[in-house]
Amino acid sequence: QVQLKESGPGLVQPSETLSLTCTVSGFSLTSYSVSWVRQPSGKGPEWMGRMWYDGDTAYNSALKSRLSISRDTSKNQVFLKMNSLQTDDTGTYYCTRVLATEASYYFDYWGQGVMVTVSS
Amino acid sequence: EIVLTQSPTTMTASPGEKVTITCRASSSVSYMHWYQQKPGASPKPWIYETSKLASGVPDRFSGSGSGTSYSLTINNMEAEDAATYYCQQWNYPNTFGAGTKLELK
Q: Cβ of A111 and B90 within 8 Å?
A: no
Edge to edge, the sheet with strand B19-25 lists B4-7, B19-25, B69-74, B61-66
pLDDT in tens, A80-116: 999 999 999 999 999 999 999 888 999 999 999 999 9
- What pLDDT score was predicted for residue A102? 86
Residues of chain A contacting B86 with CB distance shorter than 8 Å? 44-45
Distance (Å) from the alpha carbon of A43 to chain B's nearest alpha carbon? 6
Interface residue of B2, B94, B96 to substitute, partner A, most A CBs within 10 Å: B94
Cβ partners under 8 Å of residue A32, min gap 6: A53, A97, A98, A99
Q: Cβ of B45 and A47 within 8 Å?
A: no
- What pLDDT score was predicted for residue A7? 97
Residues of chain A contacting B35 with CB distance shorter than 8 Å? 45, 107
- What pLDDT score was predicted for residue A103? 87
Q: Other C-beta atoms within 10 Å of B2: how many?
A: 16
Spell out the per-residue pLDDT of chain B, length 105, in tens: 999 999 999 999 999 999 999 999 999 999 999 999 999 999 999 999 999 999 999 999 999 999 999 999 999 999 999 999 999 999 999 999 999 999 999
- What pLDDT score was predicted for residue B26? 97
CA atoms within 13 A on the CB side of A30: 4
